[in-house]
Structure 1
Amino acid sequence: MTRRISKVAVIGSGIMGSGIACHFANIGVEVLLLDIPPRELSDAEKAKGLSLEHKTVRNRIVNTNLANALKSKPSPIYHPQFASRIKTGNLEDDLKKIADVDWIIEVVVERLDIKQKVFEQIEQFRKPGTLITSNTSGIPIKFMNDGRSEDFKQHFAVTHFFNPPRYLKLFEVVPGPQCKKEVTEFLLSYGEKFLGKTSVLAKDTPAFIGNRIGIFGIQSLFHQVKELGLTIEEVDKLTGPVIGRPKSATFRTVDVVGLDTLVHVANGLYENCPNDEAHELFKLPDFIKTMMDNKWLGSKTGQGFYKKEGKEILALDLNTLEYRPQKKASFSTLELTKTIDSVIDRFPVLVNGSDRAGAFYRKNFAAMFAYVQNRIPEISDELYRIDDAMKAGFGWENGPFEIWDAIGIRKGIELMKAEGHSPAPWIEEMLNSGNTSFYSVQDGATYYYDVTAKKQLKKPGQDAFIILDNIRKSNEVWKNTDAVVQDLGDGILNIEFRSKMNTLGGGVIQALNKAVDLAEKDFQGLVVGNQGANFSVGANIGMIFMMAVEQEYDELNFAIKMFQDTMMRMRYSSIPVIAAPHGMTLGGGCELSMHADKVVAAAETYIGLVEFGVGVIPGGGGSKEMTLRASDTFRKNDVELNVLQEYFLTIGMAKVATSAYEAFDFGILQKGKDVVVINRERQIAEAKKHALLMAEAGYTMPIKRTDVKVLGKQALGMFLVGTDSMEAGKYISEHDKKIANKLAYVMAGGDLSEPSFVSEQYLLDLEREAFLSLCTERKTLERIQHMLKTGKPLRN
């Protein structure tokens, strides 16, 4: 039976329920969001003379919760218009509507009695065969199944989303004891393919996989922090980006999530895992109990491990339990990793550190390795599921078994023994059989050690993915220090940036030209894609700054022209070029995407032309391209000035789309041409498919454009009057006005006396001249310098 999901019902509209509803709306599914009707009128409703029977009153809870979710930052929804896909109602009047849905998701309060009551009501209207899942993270399925029909049990599972559902990728699927195998397989597949998640099959054990390991890690740190004499700032320094974890690290993350949430899960583990060897670790340290008593729960109460007073952020001293100014944390061991770009390569250095940081890592990783080895087969039969869960649910770049591999399995055992832990029998058995790693790469695929089979097996589900890490060496066609060109197979090449933050400097520009040359000579198409944290943060502004400060204007002009020529080389090549942006795609990264034949963007793409922030205009073809796109948008009887102004404001206001879908509104992505992929893991494979499709359909090199309509003095005058007014109203500074006027000159096509048709090269020359002139301005150099130092724009 082919199962399709066109409509879901979400029961419960709290933070999680509304977030789940929004994410289904994100992928085009119609959503029915239900909650209880209120039991009493609000003051506003009383003032209006409304009764409890009034429809707006009966839907007040669900409508308020959804409205609050849609206003939250970051947004739970890809585009404001997608919210129209969600219809609201209440459980007394509208529950009968669930008869029309394909999937019912229960997200009510974590109390068994309430869940059982909701399930009983659902059974009155649910049609047989409809999927029914719960978002619980702590109630055993056997209790939720109690009293339910056979059909209910056969289609019932836990589908545990992590909060916020749009952004955190973990989707734990826990089938009930009677759940049909095909239902479990469908949920896992749907999570990956449609929801863009990392689907992880989990067992019905307390806190499943992600929270079991994640809460152990945090509780372990709670107990270690005082033992090792570390401050909370030091722990956050040691457990943040240096080891591939989020910037919020440990204590800031707890503040954001809420200490009460963490304590609830930890208490549940303490009560429900009496045989866990780390059982006592789930007991709360005294300082946590005090914080709970004081209601120091984090962001929701204004203070937790950190507290903001005015503009200053204070840190909690765990010895005195008083707040004090933050202290800068520094360790000599961390200094040794500064030249190691790849996080996975830092771990051997970190555990060999001779300072307190080294001691911390040895103790911390020993505890983690000892714990995860003993969770097999308790919480998972396969070790890769534990790694997948930690990466997708907690934002770890590498899972615990991957870290153990990086350090070396025997070295990991040495660390464990030093802390009084023993290796699990299956670990010793694995080593004795000649397997010296948990993972290996064979023929471009990832293999993992399977404890039951006692050998390396291919990790399932890879056929839909292309993992660049796995093919980089074996399929390498060409490389320099900043980029690698790989053969994706079927006649398609990929160019992967490897520069710091994937900036577009001379090495990347050289590689792009080489990739096009290679593709035109021996291949069918080219993908520009990588699997780093971000596609590209733009041009190397450090290089631009040095050239401008040294007044090497000829060299700077050459560098800008080389960038422009490379963008045009991509556009006017004899093979299709597909860009695959994701994450931050700013400045030059955005310009590159706009010059591809097609963009296959990840849904989570934050793309925009942000050059105004460093005192220049887009100089790699972005200003030209927005002018061209405005020209292509002109229709008969249009007020062409208004159309052009929209494109001008996209650059002038440095607009950054908060999702790929929003980028269509800005004209950065083009409807009917560019596409969006929900699951980023599938992006390179999808981009390859589109390159192949275009090549096999008979791709022809485009003819260079000489028909771009520019409006000349008519547009220039309007823009100059506008910037004068903005400066007079103190909305922009004098230098902002200067930058905007330079952009106005380019997008008007200069001071032509009447509307004219010009070539792309004409506009590129105007753009480059404007960019260079701005690089001679002291205030522009101040902006670039400030960005390089702080990572933030300067208004001067």
Structure 2
Amino acid sequence: MIDEFQHNEETMSQTKFNVRKVAVLGAGVMGAQIAAHLVNAKVPTILFDLPAKEGNKNGIVLKALDGLKKLKPSPLSNKDAVAYIEPANYEDHLHLLKDCDLVIEAIAERMDWKADLYHKVAPHLGEHTIFATNTSGLSINKLAESCPDSVRPRFCGVHFFNPPRYMHLVEIIPCVTSDAGMLDNLERFLVSTLGKGVVRAKDTPNFVANRIGVFSMLATIANAEKFGIRFDIVDDLTGPRLGRPKSATFRTADVVGLDTFAHVVKTMDDTLPGDPWHGLFKSPEWLQKLIAAGALGAKTKVGIYKKDGKKMFVLDAASGEYVGGGQKGDDAVKDILKIADPAEKFRQLRASEHPQAQFLWACFRDVFHYISFHLADIANCARDVDFAIRWGFGWSVGPFETWQAAGWQQVAQWIDEDIKAGKALSGAALPAWALQADRAGVHFADGSYNAAGQNLVGRSTLDVYQRHLAPARVLGEVAAPLGETVFENDGVRAFTTGDDILVVSFKSKAHAIGPDVITGLNTALDIAEQRFKGLVIWQTEEPFSVGADLQSMLPAFMTGDWAAIDATVRRFQETSMRLRYSQVPTVAATQGYVFGGGCEFAMHCDKTVAALESYVGLVEVGVGLLPGGGGCKEFALRAAQEAKGDVLAALKDYFMAIATAKVATSGQEAQEIGFFRKGDPVVFNAYELLYVAKQQALAMAESGYRPPLKVKGFPVAGRSGAASIKGSLINMLEGNFISQHDFFIASQIADVMTGGDVEAGTLVNEQWILDLERKAFMTLLQNSKTQDRIANMLTTGKPLRN
């Protein structure tokens, strides 16, 4: 019996991979931020660098850690995380490596420097330590040669994208000696613990995302020159209008760093001499001049773009001078880009004689040409290409998906014609598979096309992906609605996946909460109490909710039907309270914006399971209102429960969170501020959100869930507390930090959160505060300055300060 137990224990120790501690070698930009994201995920991390020549020998690392605190957007998801990065240097601390389950090398992209470091650290690695190099394009097999034979099975490439906290993509690049089980363990850790989307890449220069993404930028630059398109117009046309980031093309180069961009291009130039597009792999002369002048982009505050006061200037490549920026694409071309049907959009782009339309078609054509030609060489299937570009470069749709949506055969024919006419950037022929007469695309229900094996490759069967109940999909995959619909109206869909949990998803734009959502959510609660063990609010995509649907209030607002609006607000409050006191456990699964009423619903659920990238706030002051769905009440109640004899002291931070529309920039920070409860799960991979939320609901149900007992009475700060808060507000008003209307709004918030015109310490119930909250909401709504703020937000999408 004992022998059997020992055998089972040994088997488990061989198969389960626990990451107790990680070391990162190199405290540069990437190394420090990788370390930051590791401690965000509560993984103790040692950050190494060279010993400083003067002062504290860990000085280089300490300076990097100080720099992490200043970066925006922050690489740290909570203010305490950086304390869990242990500084170290190669001279004194290499013995610490033996206790690390994973070591990530992230020094400069120099083969010789990396090789030297491997010789130094290899003797100190633990027997089972995974050793990974973070590189954007160096050969993993070549680097592996610098490792001892005993380390090579545990060595591979891992390519984080910058900034590591926010970019979803991580590429894993095996070398020929990499152990398959090791790679699986690393993928599990990256996916579930760090929340990444993993693509396994072949060991080719720049791997998948950079190889194609940088080629796309080079093709855009070449075609901009060919068709005479200004850089700012290029960025206007190749950003959000194409479903790509606002930084588009040239701003992206500035953000990345022109020297970094040039380095990646040089890697392609040096390592891809046989590529048919090799002549394109050169930094343009204007780029070389900028780098020589130290104009490296955002980090030097001047690059392709430069700002002078409030004016933005852009480089004119022909003259080498800066000219006034901000020019937009031609309206006729922008109208083509608005066409919903991809096939018609591409037809018009190709047929148009406008240089900007010809430029756009050429950019698409050359990328399609490149990815089809190189698919067999660089990726295991077309899906990996699309995910790599979506996750690594921020495109909403991958290049193969774009081609397939526009009609594969027609687009392939156009590309082939352009190649033969000498219009393409290379004369290389399209591969035969791309021109097959019956080809409908590369993504199908059974998998995505693998050009090397000429077969379809299905999704990974690795166990970690079983937690992805609604995984990322590419065009052509089966994407039927998740689960079996139990109830549906115009506002929500409630469904089940067969595990006794009812899941509710909002159908409204940006998941705003209007009458249909409120009615639907209440019906779902009725059904859940009758037939299910719990209820989860989860959205099929970001955001969780932008809050109340002000647009739905417009008819009553325009006619002055205040009674109808009051009834709507009351119904909103009642729904929040139903979430709190339902007969089944309620869980909010949040990601993206969790604003206003969405935040209030989450605050009233029994638990919140938050994706790390949840941005949470009661932001109603931006439209001249206060939280009217129970947010003020909830903070007043929490302050009373947390107070140690001084309710006002406990209340002040909560008051400021509402009065300043403070937004938490992570699920962890939302707990620190108090929007979410400490100890509620924070999930790093948003694709695991629904799974974890349902497990939490089931666990509560199986534990004999009973709703919380209604609070009989809790103490408030009273009129004296409100007076104290208003005294501080007067100082802000007199110092011109807030406007008169800001003062009025904040005073209303103070009156509500302190319990109204009562003595300090008076016991009130939740309904008392809810009534005050609703009354103050209506008072503000009928104020002309608030009405101006609402109108401005609805028409411009931006807050008005008045």
- Which whole-Å CA distance do the structure 2 matches of 1:483 and 1:137 have between them? 43
Question: Residue 8 of structure 1: CA displacement?
Answer: 1.4
For 1:728-739, list aligned pairs within 5 A. 728-739=734-745
Which position in structure 2 is the counterpart of 1:666?
673
Going from structure 1 to structure 2, the CA distance change for 1:514 and 1:372 (only over 3 Å counts) comes to: farther
Question: Residue 212 of structure 1: CA displacement?
Answer: 0.3
Matched, 1:616 2:616: no
Q: Which deviations, in whole Å up to 9, do the C-alpha atoms of 1:279-326 show, x marking residues without a partner?
A: 222233344344334443211232222211101112233443332222
Q: Which deviations, in whole Å up to 9, do the C-alpha atoms of 1:156-176 show, x marking residues without a partner?
A: 111111111111111111122
Which position in structure 2 is the counterpart of 1:159?
158
Which position in structure 1 is the counterpart of 2:327?
327
- Which whole-Å CA distance do the structure 1 matches of 2:433 and 2:461 have between them? 22
Which position in structure 1 is the counterpart of 2:616?
607
Normalising by structure 1, we get a TM-score of 0.91
Which position in structure 2 is the counterpart of 1:425?
432
Going from structure 1 to structure 2, the CA distance change for 1:510 and 1:425 (only over 3 Å counts) comes to: farther
Matched, 1:95 2:94: yes
Going from structure 1 to structure 2, the CA distance change for 1:754 and 1:347 (only over 3 Å counts) comes to: farther
For 1:142-541, list aligned pairs within 5 A. 142-325=141-324, 326-332=326-332, 334-335=334-335, 349=345, 352-353=348-349, 355=352, 356=354, 358-420=357-419, 422-428=429-435, 432=438, 436-441=440-445, 447-451=447-451, 452=453, 454-455=455-456, 457-461=458-462, 462-467=465-470, 470-472=479-481, 475-541=484-550
Question: Residue 472 of structure 1: CA displacement?
Answer: 1.7
Question: Residue 494 of structure 1: CA displacement?
Answer: 2.4
- Give the secondary structure class of the aligned counterpart of 2:204: coil
Going from structure 1 to structure 2, the CA distance change for 1:597 and 1:332 (only over 3 Å counts) comes to: farther
Amino acid at match of 1:775: L
Question: Residue 522 of structure 1: CA displacement?
Answer: 3.7
Question: Residue 78 of structure 1: CA displacement?
Answer: 1.0
Amino acid at match of 1:146: E
Which position in structure 2 is the counterpart of 1:639?
646
Q: 1:590 aligns with which of 596, 599, 602?
A: 599
Question: Residue 482 of structure 1: CA displacement?
Answer: 4.7
Question: Residue 119 of structure 1: CA displacement?
Answer: 0.8
- Which whole-Å CA distance do the structure 2 matches of 1:187 and 1:548 have between them? 56
- Give the secondary structure class of the aligned counterpart of 1:208: coil
- Give the secondary structure class of the aligned counterpart of 1:749: coil
Going from structure 1 to structure 2, the CA distance change for 1:483 and 1:263 (only over 3 Å counts) comes to: farther
Amino acid at match of 2:376: P
Question: Residue 106 of structure 1: CA displacement?
Answer: 1.2
Amino acid at match of 1:34: F
- Give the secondary structure class of the aligned counterpart of 1:207: coil
Question: Residue 130 of structure 1: CA displacement?
Answer: 1.6
**Does the aligned pair in 2 maintain the 1:168–1:393 contact within 8 Å?**
yes
- Which whole-Å CA distance do the structure 1 matches of 2:230 and 2:560 have between them? 47
Question: Residue 404 of structure 1: CA displacement?
Answer: 2.2
Which position in structure 2 is the counterpart of 1:44?
none
Going from structure 1 to structure 2, the CA distance change for 1:516 and 1:417 (only over 3 Å counts) comes to: farther
Aligned CA-pair RMSD: 2.5
Amino acid at match of 2:345: V
Q: Which deviations, in whole Å up to 9, do the C-alpha atoms of 1:84-123 show, x marking residues without a partner?
A: 1111122112222222222221111211221111111102
Question: Residue 31 of structure 1: CA displacement?
Answer: 1.3
Going from structure 1 to structure 2, the CA distance change for 1:753 and 1:111 (only over 3 Å counts) comes to: closer
**Does the aligned pair in 2 maintain the 1:11–1:34 contact within 8 Å?**
yes
Which position in structure 2 is the counterpart of 1:15?
29
- Which whole-Å CA distance do the structure 2 matches of 1:313 and 1:505 have between them? 40
Amino acid at match of 2:168: K
Matched, 1:34 2:48: yes
Which position in structure 1 is the counterpart of 2:637?
628
- Which whole-Å CA distance do the structure 2 matches of 1:415 and 1:593 have between them? 51
**Structure 1 residue ranges (4+ consecutive) displaced by more than 6 angstroms after TM superposition:** none
- Which whole-Å CA distance do the structure 2 matches of 1:351 and 1:514 have between them? 47
Which position in structure 1 is the counterpart of 2:130?
131
- Give the secondary structure class of the aligned counterpart of 2:77: coil
Stretch of structure 1 that moved more, 681-690 or 232-241: 232-241
- Give the secondary structure class of the aligned counterpart of 1:178: coil
Which position in structure 1 is the counterpart of 2:800?
794
Q: Which runs of 5+ in 1 are unaligned?
A: 40-51
**Does the aligned pair in 2 maintain the 1:188–1:201 contact within 8 Å?**
no
Q: Which runs of 5+ in 2 are unaligned?
A: 1-13, 420-427, 474-478
Matched, 1:651 2:658: yes
Q: 1:566 aligns with which of 553, 562, 575?
A: 575
Question: Residue 393 of structure 1: CA displacement?
Answer: 1.0
Q: Which deviations, in whole Å up to 9, do the C-alpha atoms of 1:150-192 show, x marking residues without a partner?
A: 1111211111111111111111111222121111111112110
Question: Residue 74 of structure 1: CA displacement?
Answer: 1.0
- Which whole-Å CA distance do the structure 1 matches of 2:575 and 2:303 have between them? 51
Which position in structure 1 is the counterpart of 2:753?
747
Which position in structure 2 is the counterpart of 1:720?
726
Going from structure 1 to structure 2, the CA distance change for 1:370 and 1:489 (only over 3 Å counts) comes to: farther
| Identity %, equivalent residues | 37
Which position in structure 2 is the counterpart of 1:49?
none
Which position in structure 1 is the counterpart of 2:7?
none
Going from structure 1 to structure 2, the CA distance change for 1:458 and 1:139 (only over 3 Å counts) comes to: closer
- Which whole-Å CA distance do the structure 2 matches of 1:418 and 1:509 have between them? 55
**Does the aligned pair in 2 maintain the 1:363–1:415 contact within 8 Å?**
no
Going from structure 1 to structure 2, the CA distance change for 1:298 and 1:608 (only over 3 Å counts) comes to: same
For 1:75-114, list aligned pairs within 5 A. 75-114=74-113
Q: Which deviations, in whole Å up to 9, do the C-alpha atoms of 1:237-286 show, x marking residues without a partner?
A: 22222332112111111111112211111121122112222222223334
